Amino acid sequence: MKINSAKLTINRDNHAVCLLILIFFILAIYLIDNLLLGPVIVGIAGNHILPIFLWSLFGVFAYNLPAVKYTGKIRFKKLMRWLAFICILVTMLISLAQGGIFSFGRSPYDRSLIGITINVITLSSVLIATAITRSWLVNRFFSKAEVVGVFIVALFFTVVEIPLISITTLSNIRGVVEFFATTFVPLLGENILATYFAFLGGPIPAFIYQFGIMLFERVTPILPNSPWVINALFSSLSPIIGLILIREVYQYETRQVKITREKEGMFGWLAMAFTFILFIWFALGVFTIYPRVILSGSMEPDISMGDVVLINRDAEADLGDVVSFEMGEVEVVHRIIEVKNIEGQRNFVTQGDASDSPDDGTVIAENINGKVTGVVPKIGWITLLLRGQ
């Protein structure tokens, strides 16, 4: 890599080398902050000074990467910045609507002047560096592959933004689902929108969008206090609406769509995105009724391999019902063949319809995930193929 007047010579080799250094730099920061020094250095030094130093150092490197022109038209760069402010407003309104419909709670963040200042400085160093980097990545390597590039870059930054302890402390399926729905997916949505801003308008609108959301969360005295299912749904709405808004406005301004189709396109994208996210939440088990693919023949002939069962969390289980419960690290769907009262607690003896003997031990009522209320034959065969069964 040649250096001339403190600027990197622009050629393919330099871009490839810079990419490797960039990835190594980010992974090094993640490991230092989560494994090496972060857990050792406590207090303000570990929580703020160390991240500020690491991300500022990386920001300097990112700023001096070979120049790359962002994909959007230069004359619309102000439009992109205004759209970033509009997306912040949309996020705030959705948050207030969620709190108004359900309830508000006190903000968990330090809202003293010193606390807000320190948090803003710390997170700003991260956001500046990541905005520059995501703009360089998506425009350098994915200028001709918009959808794939935005998703890959957004996924990368989502993973490195999640503290390692948030993953290592997950201990059961419910915890994984809750983490995925309330943390991973909303953060991925925010990163997709920020990356799309970077794709069309460079690092500034991407930074404005994420900085505005961060500032709102740190300054406001109250935040929505709702069940995690509701938080998951509302947290995912604002990035979807923002993404549709940006795409429609940009295509309209650049005459990529006909004016007469403006409203049709907007509502079409919104309906499709909302339907898609509802389907994802259903598949992940966010709602009261959720699906599970049957992976064995222990419940034949009524329920076969490849069938999808619908499990109702709120339905009370009793003798003769088919229920879902955990057996070790596996979710099992078997029938209750006996109900026992042990030390004042209801305990269920379970058995597969195709089995010759009951399951080992009993299942207490509170460990029942839900009752099977429906069966859809054979639509889970794709899952079996992917698992090699």
Domain ranges of the chain: 68-284, 289-386
CA-nearest of 327, 317, 314, 386 to 358 is 327
Q: Is the pLDDT of residue 236 over 90?
A: no
**Most confident residue range from 35-39, 161-165, 176-180, 254-258:** 161-165
**Do residues 224 and 98 touch, judged by C-beta distance below 8 A?**
yes
Query: CA 54, CA 48: separation in Å to the nearest integer?
Result: 10
Query: Has residue 259 got a pLDDT over 60?
Result: no
pLDDT value at 143 more than 60: yes
SS (H, E, C) the chain: CCEECCEECCCHHHHHHHHHHHHHHHHHHHHHHHHHCCCCCCHHHHHHHHHHHHHHHHHHHHHCCCCCCCCCCHHHHHHHHHHHHHHHHHHHHHHHHHHHHCCEEECCCCCCHHHHHHHHHHHHHHHHHHHHHHHHHHHHHCCCCHHHHHHHHHHHHHHHHCCHHHHHCCCCHHHHHHHHHHHHHHHHHHHHHHHHHHHHHCHHHHHHHHHHHHHHHHHCCEEECCCHHHHHHHHHHHHHHHHHHHHHHHHHHCCCCCHHHHHHHHHHHHHHHHHHHHHHHHHHCCCCEEEEECCCCCCCCCCCCCCEEEEECCCCCCCCCEEEEEECCEEEEEEEEEEEEECCEEEEEEECCCCCCCCCCCEEHHHEEEEEEEEECCCCHHHHHHCCC
Residue 87: band (very low, low, confident or very high) from pLDDT cuts 50, 70, 90: very high
**pLDDT, tens only, 107-123:** 888 888 898 899 999 99
Q: Describe the crossing of helices 77-101 and 203-219 by its angle, rounded to 10 degrees.
A: 30
Question: Which of 52 and 15 is assigned the larger pLDDT?
Answer: 52
pLDDT of residue 138: 93
With beta carbons less than 8 A apart as the criterion, state whether 72 and 199 touch. Answer: yes
pTM (2 d.p.): 0.67
Mean pLDDT within 271-293? 67
Give the model's confidence band at 256: pLDDT under 50 very low, under 70 low, under 90 confident, else very high.
low
Highest mean pLDDT, choosing among 251-255, 258-262, 274-278 = 251-255
Query: Cα(first)–Cα(last) distance of the chain, in Å?
Result: 50
C-alpha 241 chain-centroid distance:
16
Give the lowest-confidence range in 1-15, 123-137, 290-304. Answer: 1-15
Q: How far apart are CA 39 and CA 34, in angstroms?
A: 7
Share of the chain above pLDDT 90, in %: 29
The CATH class of the 289-386 domain is: mainly beta
